[in-house]
Every structure is written in structure tokens, then in C-alpha cells.
Amino acid sequence: MTEQERRKRQEKLLGKLNRLEAYHEIQNEMGRLTAAFNFHQKEKVLEHFALDLEDVSLEYADEGRFEGPAAVKAVLEELLGAPPKPGEMIDMQLTTPMIEVAEDGRTAKCVWWCPGAGAYTDNEGAHAVWLWGEIAVDFIYREEKWKVWHLHYFRLIKCAYEKGWVDDLSMINRPNTPMHPKSLPSTYHNPYSPLSIRDGIPCMPRPYRTYTAADRYWELNRDKR
């Protein structure tokens, strides 16, 4: 083996180790973000977003697409701004991590399946609900830390616990009210119903060298090869 071949081998091994470390760090970052979301800690959730980037974004079910730092802050204020009431609960879980760190180590494409449960309250008391979906995220490495660049939550199930997702379709779509002023049209919303067919979106990330403009919305790709 020549010296040049040895150096290339060492560089390849170092790249693999760096991507493995990135995988671990991204898992922890997403776990901390989800825990903060579950406990209505809006400011802590915001800390995980790359708010210094103009194209940072958050798309939440069919509430719309929120592009830019001000819009991301606005939707999180809408979702988490009010303190939780006694009896209210949201508990989202992260499972089945699929994380592809780019060969250049600057970005990562990620998907988690996200089962969960919750409770809301009204004049009649507390009511249990199922909350299931998937999360697709682009992470970007900024100032020696992994940050959320683009996040898309896909709602699959939201229904009363005692009725189940086949009989209760009342919560799968947003209320028939005007969308948030900073909201752009949703890119995709296909929750479960007895009349719908699932088409495997978000797709699973594939290995890639570097993130380009063509990679935006990769999670909407229907090609499963």
C-alpha cells in the first residue's frame, strides 16, 4: 500500500467516525427538542433551530409552512405560547431513527416515526387522545453544534382514545378557520382515514454527498428504490 493510498484510507475512516459521532449528537438534539415540546418549553425548543438562517422552516401538519426565523417563532408561539392547563398533556415519542449524515459532514437528513398520546380539557373535564405521525428534519452544523434547519411534522392519527382512528376523524384536519398570517400553503397532508391510501411519505433518507437546492423537500419523494 502506497502512502497516498494509506492517507485516503485514513481520511475515509475518519469521515465514518465523524458521521457516527454526528448521528449520536443529532439523536440527542432531537430528543431534547421533543422533550421541550412535550413540556411547553417554547424558548428551549427555539434554541434547537438555526434561527440565523433566513430559510429555516417548520411545517406542522396542515397548519401550513412557516419559512424564516420570524415565522418559526410565530408558529411555536401559537403551539406552545400558552401555559398548559391542569389535566392537559402532550407526550410525543421518537422511534425508528433514520439518519443520513452527508459525506461532507455539514448536513443530515432525518426521519423519525412519532407515536404519542395526549389530553385536552373542556367544561366536561379531561379527554384522552392518540397523537401519531412522522417527523422529517434537515439538520445543519452551525458553530460546532447541530441545529434544525427544516422540520416537517406529518400528522397520521389524531383521535379520541376511546373511539380510535377509524371511528373518530374529527381532529385529523385543522379547524375551518383562517390560517396564521405567516403561514404558507402546506406541502403535504394525508392523515389516515378509512377512505385514504398511505403512500409512504415521508420517504426514508438516502446516503448523499452534500446538500444542494435539489434536495429541498426530499422527504416528499415517492420513489422508494
Structural domain boundaries of the chain?
A: 3-220
**Mean pLDDT, residues 19-44 taken together:** 96
Question: 12 vs 95, which has greater pLDDT?
Answer: 95
- pLDDT for 199: 86
- At 75, which helix (H) or strand (E)? helix 69-80
Q: Closest Cα partner for 37 from 86, 89, 113?
A: 89
pLDDT (0 to 100) of residue 5? 64
Q: Contact, 108 vs 102, CB < 8 A?
A: yes
Give one word for 79, left, alpha or beta, with left for phi > 0 and alpha for psi -120 to 50: alpha
CATH of 3-220, one of 3.10.450.50, 3.50.50.60, 3.20.20.140, 3.60.130.10: 3.10.450.50
Cα distances (Å, whole numbers) of residue 75 to 58, 166, 168, 172: 8, 29, 26, 18
- The DSSP result for 173-220, as a single string, is S--SSPPPTTPBPPS------TT------SPPP---SS--GGGTTGGG
Residue 35 cell numbers, joined? 422533550
Residue 10: φ, ψ to 5°? -65, -40
- Position 225 scores a pLDDT of 54
3-class DSSP assignment, residue 162: coil
Would the pTM count as exceeding 0.85? yes
What average pLDDT does this structure show over 150-169?
A: 96
5 vs 207, more confident: 207
How many other C-beta atoms can be found within 10 angstroms of the C-beta atom of residue 119? Answer: 17
CA-to-CA dists, residue 112 to 1, 7, 154, 212, angstroms: 42, 36, 10, 22
Torsion 7-8-11-16 (CA) sign: negative
